[in-house]
């Protein structure tokens, strides 16, 4: 029984991270990034941030207006009151700059 509960808990945690990453990818595309760039940035953020911070990123992106544009996305994330998010956003922006 304990093993089953641990397995269910593990799947729940993975699902939360996946949902946040997918939410970030979708929102980045809505904000004007190409599919490849949005996927790249979401992957980079997923590698660098824990689940809670990914949810914070998703919430921050939801607060942006649709006309914010891709360049303002990284700036907005850089202004979040969390150094890890700001650093991860800057690194993702550089890593994914030339992805088309």
**Per the domain annotation, does 83 fall within a domain?**
yes
**Per the domain annotation, does 76 fall within a domain?**
yes
The mean per-residue pLDDT over the stretch 48-73 comes to 88
**Per the domain annotation, does 53 fall within a domain?**
yes
**Per the domain annotation, does 24 fall within a domain?**
yes
**Per the domain annotation, does 16 fall within a domain?**
yes
Mean pLDDT of the chain: 82
**Per the domain annotation, does 45 fall within a domain?**
yes
Structural domains in the chain (count): 1
CA 29 vs CA 1, 7, 21, 61, 92: distances in Å? 42, 33, 13, 11, 15
**Per the domain annotation, does 82 fall within a domain?**
yes
Cβ contacts of 60 within 8 Å, gap of 6 or more: 76, 77, 80, 85
**Per the domain annotation, does 33 fall within a domain?**
yes
0.85 cut: is pTM over it? no
* Whether the Cβ atoms of residue 54 and residue 24 lie closer than 8 Å to each other: yes
If phi > 0 it is left, if psi is from -120 to 50 it is alpha, else beta; for residue 48 that is alpha
The pLDDT, as a whole number, for residue 14 is 46
At residue 97, does pLDDT exceed 90?
no
Residue 33: domain span: 2-95
At residue 8, does pLDDT exceed 80?
no
The pLDDT, as a whole number, for residue 46 is 95
Rounded to 5°, angle at Cα 13 from 10 and 79: 155
């Amino acid at each position: 029984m304990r093993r089953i509960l641990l397995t269910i808990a593990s799947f729940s945690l993975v699902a939360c991270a996946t949902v946040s990453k997918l939410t970030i990818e979708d929102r980045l595309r809505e904000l004007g990034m190409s599919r490849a760039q949005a996927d790249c940035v979401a992957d980079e953020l997923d590698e660098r941030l824990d689940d809670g911070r990914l949810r914070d990123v998703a919430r921050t992106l939801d607060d942006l207006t649709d006309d914010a544009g891709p360049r303002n996305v990284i700036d907005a994330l850089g202004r979040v009151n969390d150094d890890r998010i700001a650093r991860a956003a800057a690194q993702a922006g550089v890593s994914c700059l030339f992805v088309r």
